[in-house]
A and B are shown apart, each in its own frame.
Chain A
């Protein structure tokens, strides 16, 4: 309880301090589009840390502790896959978004293919991001409940208010700067926590954990490679389901759109990858150690890790770890709210209804959407206990856009091919999910949604893009425009091309 109070005061002080700093900086720099895009002046450390913490949330805290308990070190492939996603976002998709001066992924898709594809991308992105937002709300409720004894509902509402304050006052830069400070505190807490845990384990070090797995013929649990079966089922199926959808997810790419330039986005990857990837090391190790101590192991994978921390570590270390977990989840909540609200404002409000909206009007609209989305997600979080499975499923609806971004940039842009392919992939996914088709076709599991949408997209998308008429690749068009501008003695920038 005291720990929660201290964390609450800390958050208020840091949010107030960062907001004052951001406002002063904006007044000095005279940049535009500050709230949603940080005036497109964000530095590599801020972009990197924000990318890292955006896709580091409830699953990294509780999911990894639970999986570490059951499968051991091989669980680290989940964070490793996120490192690959960050690298794709930093060196490929996020770099493209920043290079072409675009703000959102639906805008990018619309620019390549046209308005129908943009609308489909808005639908899929909002569905996925809002699903994750709900999941983060649940995670916050569980953290508060585990450490304070309050109900999950109280935990969700209190932390949702804190999450909204995290973004509502100064936008993406506020999230970025608070994330940067929190990352230092979070990693210091995790390192201190893991060292103290080493001393508190039976025997006063990790040797007993080692010995347990050796003596019980489970040495494979100490290896990052696990067993061949686990690598095949867990790692491969997970890779496909998150890789294609997260690499084109607005939430992750939002920070890259607000970076100073393309080089900054690429540099930020070097910060984002280890900051995101290494977090799992700590939570996996906690679950991994908890399963070797009978009194915690008997509580089962969901409770063993947190129960062990609370029982073995001093109160101040537990509080510090609690703050670290809250920082990780709350930053994801804030960024998911902002990303979804930005899509509503940029891709719907400005694009469809008010193209001449001033920055003040856009900022007001985005604030309203943040409150509506964050508030509704926290209410849904209370009523939908199995949201994690649903998030995996909705992600498969976004995966086809990964293929079409590549096709549109490097090969050919056919809106008809895109719309037909994605519609077929979505309908097939829905039929697969809500009928017995999978059993009829002899599959032993239904959980292959991402394989299904990606498979249909690659095969049908390739055939239709080849067969149907379409425009030349976007890069070819840009090269032509650039050559034309040079011949006419005009200056060519992606920003002016976008505006035209």
Chain B
């Protein structure tokens, strides 16, 4: 089924983007000593 392949590929990109930003945010927070500003 073409559509569902396309659908899940797109979902993976959306979630992947969130993961990347969350990881960067985690690293930056850790670098600041694990505390929020």
Q: Which A residues have a C-beta under 8 Å from some C-beta of B?
A: 73, 76, 79-80, 83-84, 87-88, 90-91, 99, 194, 198, 205-207, 209-210, 222, 224, 262-263, 266, 269-270, 273-274, 277-278, 280-281, 285, 475, 478
- B7 neighbours in A (Cβ, 8 Å): 278, 281
Residue in contact with A280 in the complex, picked from B10, B15, B21, CB distance below 8 Å: B10
Q: Tell me whether chain A's interface is mostly helix, strand or loop, or mixed.
A: helix
Complexed CA–CA distance, A194 and B2 (Å)? 12
Complexed CA–CA distance, A270 and B17 (Å)? 10
Task: Flag whether B31 is at the interface (Cβ < 8 A).
Answer: no
- The smallest beta-carbon distance between B27 and chain A, in angstroms, is 12
Structural contact, B6 and A281, CB atoms closer than 8 A = yes
Complexed CA–CA distance, A475 and B37 (Å)? 9
Structural contact, B2 and A90, CB atoms closer than 8 A = no
Q: Tell me whether chain B's interface is mostly helix, strand or loop, or mixed.
A: helix
The winner among A209, A222, A273, A280 for most chain B CB atoms within 10 A is A273
- B20 neighbours in A (Cβ, 8 Å): 87
By beta carbon, the residue of chain A nearest B1 is A206
Complexed CA–CA distance, A210 and B3 (Å)? 10
Structural contact, B21 and A80, CB atoms closer than 8 A = no
- B1 neighbours in A (Cβ, 8 Å): 198, 205-206
Complexed CA–CA distance, A269 and B21 (Å)? 10
Complexed CA–CA distance, A431 and B4 (Å)? 47
Structural contact, A87 and B6, CB atoms closer than 8 A = no
Structural contact, A91 and B22, CB atoms closer than 8 A = yes
Complexed CA–CA distance, A87 and B22 (Å)? 9
Q: A83-B17, A87-B18, A285-B6 are in contact. Are A278 and B11 (CB under 8 A)?
A: yes
Residue in contact with B18 in the complex, picked from A262, A273, A281, CB distance below 8 Å: A273
The interface bits of chain B over 14-29 (1 if a CB of A lies within 8 angstroms of the residue's CB, else 0) are 1101101110110000
Residue in contact with B10 in the complex, picked from A76, A91, A475, CB distance below 8 Å: A76
Residue in contact with B13 in the complex, picked from A90, A207, A270, A277, CB distance below 8 Å: A277
Residue in contact with B2 in the complex, picked from A99, A210, A269, A273, CB distance below 8 Å: A210
By beta carbon, the residue of chain B nearest A208 is B2
Complexed CA–CA distance, A70 and B10 (Å)? 19
- The smallest beta-carbon distance between B23 and chain A, in angstroms, is 10
What are 17 A-B residue pairs whose CB atoms fall within 8 Å in the complex? A76-B13, A80-B10, A80-B17, A83-B14, A87-B17, A87-B18, A87-B20, A88-B21, A90-B21, A91-B22, A91-B24, A194-B3, A198-B3, A205-B1, A206-B3, A224-B9, A274-B15
- The smallest beta-carbon distance between B5 and chain A, in angstroms, is 9
Complexed CA–CA distance, A266 and B36 (Å)? 12
